[in-house]
């Protein structure tokens, strides 16, 4: 309660607040007890917990990881105006085998067509109960 609020009280209310404050006031410390308290407090301030440094550092690392994961660092192979990804070619004029595999995977991932069961091999076909789910999500 600040002074302004205390001034707004009538004398009876002020007396009640004073009795309440006296009732809840801690008992006075002896000089020996006060010196022991001050030593313990100074010791705690001197030996700071290692978590005071570790926790903010871990929070900073976690925030940096979230930012790194959230930012789209690469959009994949660039596309020409026709929508076909541009392929990097080797000295012979043909894309290398690894690059061709990457572009094929990119084309498969970005294609909007759903694969038919006829296009899939025998081992790749989904069971009947999963086909309805795949049609919904693919």
| C-alpha angle 91-95-98 in degrees, rounded to nearest 5 | 115
Residue whose entry in the numeric block shows the structure tokens 């991932």? 109
**According to DSSP H, which parts of the chain are helical?**
3-7, 11-24, 31-46, 51-70, 97-110, 128-137
pLDDT computed for residue 81 by the predictor: 52
pLDDT at 123 over 90: no
Q: pLDDT tens across 76-116, in order?
A: 555 555 554 555 555 566 656 666 677 777 776 676 566 55
Q: Provide the residue ranges of all domains of the chain, joining segments of one domain with +.
A: 1-31
**Dist CA 35 CA 39 (whole Å):** 6
Supply the pTM of this predicted model: 0.28
């Amino acid at each position: 309660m600040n002074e302004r609020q205390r001034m707004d009280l009538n004398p009876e209310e002020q007396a009640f607040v004073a009795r309440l404050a006296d009732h809840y006031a801690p008992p006075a410390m002896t000089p020996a007890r006060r010196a022991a308290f001050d030593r313990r407090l100074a010791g705690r301030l001197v030996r700071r917990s290692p978590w005071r440094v570790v926790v903010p550092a871990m929070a900073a690392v976690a925030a940096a990881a979230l930012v790194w994961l959230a930012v789209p660092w690469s959009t994949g192979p660039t596309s020409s105006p026709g929508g076909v990804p541009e392929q990097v070619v080797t000295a012979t004029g043909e894309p290398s085998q690894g690059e061709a595999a990457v572009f094929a995977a990119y084309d498969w991932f970005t294609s909007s067509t759903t694969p038919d069961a006829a296009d899939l091999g025998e081992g790749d076909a989904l069971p009947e109960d999963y086909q309805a789910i795949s049609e919904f999500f693919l």
